[in-house]
Chains A and B, each alone.
Chain A
Amino acid sequence: MNLKEFEGKFLLNKYNLNISKGLTISQDSIKQSGLQIDNFPVFIKAQVLSGKRKAAGGIQIAHNLKQATLEISTMFNTEINNEKVEQILIDKAVEFDKEFYTSIMIDSRSRRPLLIISNQGGSDIEEIKKTNPTSIRTLEINILKGIPTSDIQALTHDFDFSEKQFKNFKTTINELYKCFIENDLKLLEINPLVLNENSNEFTALDSKTIIDDNAMYRQKIPFQLRTGLRAKTILEQRANDIDKDDHRGVAGTSYIDFGGNIAVLASGGGASVIAMDALISYGGNPANYTEYSGNPPAEKVTKLTNVVLDQPNLQGLWVVGGTANFTSIYDTLKALIDVVIERDFTKPIVIRRAGPEDEKAFDMIRDLADKHNLDIELYGRETPITLSAKYIVDKVNNEKHLGGNI
């Protein structure tokens, strides 16, 4: 999960680091307790997750309260790269002489955390890669050993640090690494990390942080959970909660609302992705993306089916998956179809599934479809996943067409 600047700084605050902390405000907090700023100038920083926030007008400077009030009210009413501004961080201006770039990320090639530093920090680090690539230094970190001082020395040998500055820089890097490890981060980026040559102190002015979703069980995160760049919807939260405290199979852990009219219940991570690729390419409009796999117990499928069918404006349901190894097609489809019947969902349904007990499952569905007058097409292993996408799109469109004639 991506964290906003003020949330990242909340994590960093527990470590021996200088951070520009400032004051986080929301529209509610201003309504309740007004706006009080003691020292000017200040930076008004929109708390959004998208990059290039400065270029999009998400960072402004204010020299007095009147100016600050105006900038804040404008910012709350503007979208920054299509993202609504929910919080603003008011940061004191910090005096500095030099800007550095620092980050720690997971590197898939070396299969290690990777430290990246540059003495050319600032907003345009991607530019620096083009214009001044030699200023970018990287170090693979052996997680069993941490970061040896000699390696930091080697990386910064031409940064003209004084002895005191090097000591403070080394402490900063070590504390950032500690924060990275202890909070299960996938990315911790400080840009800029600034140096004041009078005090010899380094200060983190910004932070970009991503927490590993797989490690959420051992991290207590006091922030609102989100999908991508926005807060999780109620349905997303409900779907994500299904796997809590029950590790048998996976259901709803990856669920995203799209707002279209075809409900999707896919199985298998890989199959669900090519299924969505195909649905969109045939002109379908998915209401959601979600996936269950690894033979989840029936109650998980029941819960997830209810979440998916709780979406508004549905015109069809597409149940799609590859050829399962383990997942009982009978048990999972039985749980699913029971929900369909209980909710009296009479829109078109296309099912493409294969795997253990698939024929028994299809016999059961044919019986129930007759009994309850359900509009279901069934496809098995002879039909490619991608082709069944076309079938659900056709069915949904036909129904619209009929509705228009009546």
Chain B
Amino acid sequence: MVIINKNTKVLVQGITGGEGSKATKQMLDYGTNIICGVTPGKGGQNVEGVPVYNSVEDAKQNHQDVNLAVLYVPPRFAKQAAIDAIEQNIETVLCITESIPILDVIEILEYAKLHNVRFIGPSSVGIINPELKIKIGSIGGANNSQYTPGPVGIISKSGGMCSETSLLLKNKGIGISTVIGIGGDAISGTDFYDLLKEFQNDKQTKVVVIYGEIGGEYEQKVAEMVKSKKFTKPLVAFVSGAFAENLPNVSLGHAGAIIEGESATRTAKIKALKNAGIKVADIHHEIVDIVQEILQEQEDYN
């Protein structure tokens, strides 16, 4: 199992807000065990029967066994909210909030490192396991029909494309093990590499799809990982952004060139992935064809 399991007990930060309360209902409806929520100043209320506290500290005192916090907090309050959860040593903090200043993200991650907390996001759409009927965050919304149990793990920088990729698979009768959105920011607390380690040990997962975007070096880390045999299951990759690569404002100037060289471009990422022997889909819907071939080969072999 990847990240979530039957013992996952969830705290929702920003639970009384519009998106927070809606997501809370949808997670509960799906089967997620939400045991408490936090909104400063709203302590004592409840949302969908979930008790609300003024602070993470209060919530933790009343619910010692909470082990995952999900953040629905506006960007300018997200840093403090994340640090509050981290300082209470909640094992995993998953951040849905988008548009958080990058220096705030970096500071959050230093705290996470200090407290040995796994931080997923920012801008994560969430995580879903249809076999266990557990999901964290906004993934699937009110209609989770595109997520059916099966052998494919998906890790995606794009939240929306978690749904779209799963839907393409489902239309061909292929289900998924766990789907997780890591967010497309320049800095992600948890990247492909970290999650592939989990998928490597997940019995349900027979093949993994990664959905990459331009910028950063997380796709390169995948290529290195496969080359050094730290991940050995079949892997299918897609990198979007042929159009965005031609935009004038993605350059990081000399400093970017020194550290990342050309490696942050789509072309370079695809080359690195292919060189490592990873199958790369050029057009998004080709992912499904490649996955189908792989599953067929595995079946033939068995």
Q: Which residues of A are interface residues toward B (Cβ below 8 A)?
A: 2, 51, 101, 103-109, 111-114, 116, 125-126, 129, 136, 138, 142-144, 181, 184, 186-187, 189, 191, 208, 210, 212, 214-215, 217-218, 227-230, 247-248, 250, 253, 256, 267-271, 273-274, 276-281, 289, 293-295, 321-326, 354-356, 381-382, 384-386
A114 to B260, CA, bound (A): 12
**CB <8 Å contact, A189 and B253:** yes
A218 to B248, CA, bound (A): 25
**CB <8 Å contact, A214 and B75:** yes
Q: In the complex, which residues of chain B have a beta carbon less than 8 angstroms from the beta carbon of A277?
A: 240-243
Q: In the complex, which residues of chain B have a beta carbon less than 8 angstroms from the beta carbon of A107?
A: 259
Q: In the complex, which residues of chain B have a beta carbon less than 8 angstroms from the beta carbon of A101?
A: 254
Indicate whether B18 reaches chain A with its CB closer than 8 angstroms. Answer: yes
| 1/0 contact string of B239-268 vs chain A (CB within 8 Å) | 011111001110111111111100000000
**CB <8 Å contact, A386 and B284:** yes
Which stretch from B4-12, B62-70, B100-108, B200-208 is at the chain A interface?
B100-108
Q: In the complex, which residues of chain B have a beta carbon less than 8 angstroms from the beta carbon of A270?
A: 156-161, 164, 184, 211, 213, 240
12 residue pairs from A and B, CB less than 8 Å apart: A116-B255, A126-B257, A126-B258, A143-B110, A184-B102, A214-B102, A247-B75, A270-B161, A273-B243, A274-B161, A355-B141, A384-B285
**CB <8 Å contact, A111 and B187:** yes
Nearest CB of chain A from residue B28's CB, rounded to whole Å:
16
Nearest CB of chain A from residue B166's CB, rounded to whole Å:
8
**CB <8 Å contact, A2 and B146:** no
Indicate whether B217 reaches chain A with its CB closer than 8 angstroms. Answer: yes
A356 to B142, CA, bound (A): 7
A104 to B159, CA, bound (A): 30
In the complex with contacts A103-B254, A248-B18, A277-B243, A325-B140 CB distance below 8 A: yes
Question: For residue B76, which residue of chain A has the nearest CB?
Answer: A217
Q: In the complex, which residues of chain B have a beta carbon less than 8 angstroms from the beta carbon of A104?
A: 255
**CB <8 Å contact, A186 and B102:** yes
Question: For residue B242, which residue of chain A has the nearest CB?
Answer: A277
A191 to B22, CA, bound (A): 50
**CB <8 Å contact, B255 and A187:** yes
**CB <8 Å contact, A269 and B158:** yes
A108 partner, pick from B125, B141, B217, B248, beta carbons under 8 A: B217
**CB <8 Å contact, B109 and A187:** no
Q: In the complex, which residues of chain A have a beta carbon less than 8 angstroms from the beta carbon of B140?
A: 325
Chain B interface size band reads: 35 or more
The 8 closest A-B pairs by CB, nearest first: A270-B158, A268-B160, A228-B248, A325-B141, A228-B249, A215-B101, A108-B216, A270-B161
**CB <8 Å contact, B161 and A268:** yes
**CB <8 Å contact, B163 and A325:** yes
Question: For residue B100, which residue of chain A has the nearest CB?
Answer: A214
Q: In the complex, which residues of chain A have a beta carbon less than 8 angstroms from the beta carbon of B161?
A: 268, 270-271, 274, 322
A111 to B241, CA, bound (A): 23
**CB <8 Å contact, A143 and B107:** yes
A279 to B205, CA, bound (A): 34
**CB <8 Å contact, B146 and A273:** no
Count chain B CB atoms within 10 A of each CB in A103, A126, A273, A289 and give the residue with the most: A273
Indicate whether B177 reaches chain A with its CB closer than 8 angstroms. Answer: no
In the complex with contacts A143-B106, A218-B76, A270-B158, A212-B101 CB distance below 8 A: yes
A54 to B215, CA, bound (A): 27
Given pairs A116-B258, A229-B249, A278-B283, 19 additional interface contacts (CB within 8 A): A126-B254, A136-B258, A181-B103, A186-B102, A187-B253, A189-B254, A214-B75, A215-B102, A247-B74, A247-B75, A269-B160, A273-B240, A280-B243, A294-B19, A321-B160, A356-B141, A384-B284, A385-B284, A386-B284
Q: In the complex, which residues of chain A have a beta carbon less than 8 angstroms from the beta carbon of B187?
A: 106, 108, 111
